[in-house]
A and B are shown apart, each in its own frame.
Chain A
Amino acid sequence: MKVGLPRALLFYYYDPLWQAFFHALDIETVTSGATTPHIVDNGVRNSVAEICVPIKIFCGHVVELLATDVDAVFIPRMITVEERKRFCPKFLGLPDMMRYTVPGLEGRLLDPDIQCRQESLADAQDYESLAKMLGKSGREVKRAFAVASEQWEVFRRYHRSGMNIDEAMAALNKKENPVYEPPKNEKRLTIAVLGYVYNIYDSFVGMDIIKKLRLMGADVVTFEMLDDGSVAEKLQRYSKTTPWTFTNKLLGAGYDFFEDPKIDGMIHVTAFGCGPDSMLGRLLEFIAVDHGKPFMTIRVDEHTGEAHLSTRVEAFTDMLRRKKFPVR
């Protein structure tokens, strides 16, 4: 059996886990390539007009995989990975949506329900239905989950040591990580980049914003470098937090970054049409005002022009630098 994994949405967060999982079960996997304009076009063609860009891109990757010889495309229904928080409705309905919008997917869809209380999926309960889909025994699946979540914990440890997702993935695959040499600049900045993994690390949509910032002499921190415990602690003070797992992580990280004196400014990268971000963005604006820190929102979509992003990022870093190192 050959399973296709779309390189979109939570791929950037969970890929090491699923790779290890299928490897442990001796199932071959195929990952779709990096997002290209062609993939985006296919996605736009096969999804409803108003839906957010990440879903359209996901759709494009599914189309891409269906054109290969994979037996099934893996689209887990991510329901919950922590207590009392769930994913955005579009994740919950993702397999259903794909099944009925992408022609040819019906019958080649692998859509297990993921309902856990731990992010590492170590306490996954529903082995049997997935085992049936894969033609394995429940026991094998259980063992594979154990191996996979261990591998994923390693991946998370890399994050907490200060690597971003691209670097952690390379480290995990024992690949030579391109040594990042900060440009010689006395006036260094630290900028927090907040955004979902599928917006920031998809270099088509996110346009390598992290690299751009680094080239301008800024150190970049992201939410996955924070410890989950400390993020949760930050949010405990508030009576009600957002209902979505990742939005909540970003909100907690936002509080953390704004309170952190080392951080000079924050950039929120959001995709066009993102529902949770419409609320998160406004909340972050309020927190930024409370803390008196510079804050910028960048809305990305399927357009390919990079000039707007470069201009805004340059202007933002220039502004921060003037603020931090005043010229007399």
Chain B
Amino acid sequence: MAKVSDEWVAELKRGSIQLCLLSLLSQGSKYGLQIITELREMTGGFFDLKEGTLYPALRRLEEKGYLKSEWVERESGIPRRYYQITEKGRAVLSGSIEVWKDMVKGTETVLRSAKK
């Protein structure tokens, strides 16, 4: 990934983050720090979300009705806010996966034609 600026990479990643969040939260309810850690581990460090990005993104998805959240008390420490996917979110996710596949297929076809 040499010679590619951080801003440019962020731009490329932008479209996929919401999809990744919906996917991850379709497995079950998770809290913010857990989401960051799991995404980082699953992608070998490629998706290393900043908190200032993740939390507002979760709220946006919640406002759209794709996620719901609840506070879960702990024996010690501050309660955690767990997010999970809604039925609406699930429907959007399965539709988006189809779009994503077409996009990747189409993009790869075009990229193969690139002269390096």
Please say whether chains A and B are actual partners in one complex: no
